[in-house]
Structure 1
Amino acid sequence: MKMIMAVIRPEKFDAVKQALADKGYFGMTVTEVSGRGEQRGVCLQYRGKPIHVDVIQKTEIQLTTCDEKADEVIDIIRTTACSGRIGDGRIFVVPVEKAITIRTGEVFY
């Protein structure tokens, strides 16, 4: 089993969520996060004056899937979230030893 964590542009979230749902992937945890990467922030105009914002708002999606479906999920997220500009985000993939459903105690390996 794999946990896929994707940090994407907030404006891409609805499209990514729909693309995953279209392929049968519905369960996910979504968190609003902020951070900075290679772009080291952005320069914006506020009331005619430039301001530097060094942390950028992003959306993090976490979901787990079986090893066999991980590449498909990664491809869906990558192609849907890509704008071709710096700051599109990152996808992290980590192994999951097991997952337990709290209500039933069911264990997934």
Structure 2
Amino acid sequence: MMKRSLWFATASALLFANVAAAQQYPMLDAVANRIVQKYQQSSCEQLWQERAEKKGMPKPQGEQMAIQAMHNDPQMRAAFIDRVAAPIANKMFECGMIP
């Protein structure tokens, strides 16, 4: 019974933390959702082609502003990375983009 209570408390705390992060940075959550969706819906060929085309090209101003905001706010950066890291890494692994 104690294990079940501890598991429920831990799961509740994690769920609350995710909801709190989404409420704290609603714009970041929208961007993260868009990025995750892009990686999940893109084929490996599309990702390879996009990667080749972006080499050496400057980032759009909106993207630069978002990156600067994450440099200035470590909590925002952590929330963003927590949201996008696993889906992106999994897709990149499937496509042979990372070992």
TM-score, length basis structure 1: 0.24
Please state which structure has a larger fraction of its residues in helix: 2
Q: Which has the higher contact order (CA 8 A, sep 6+)?
A: 1
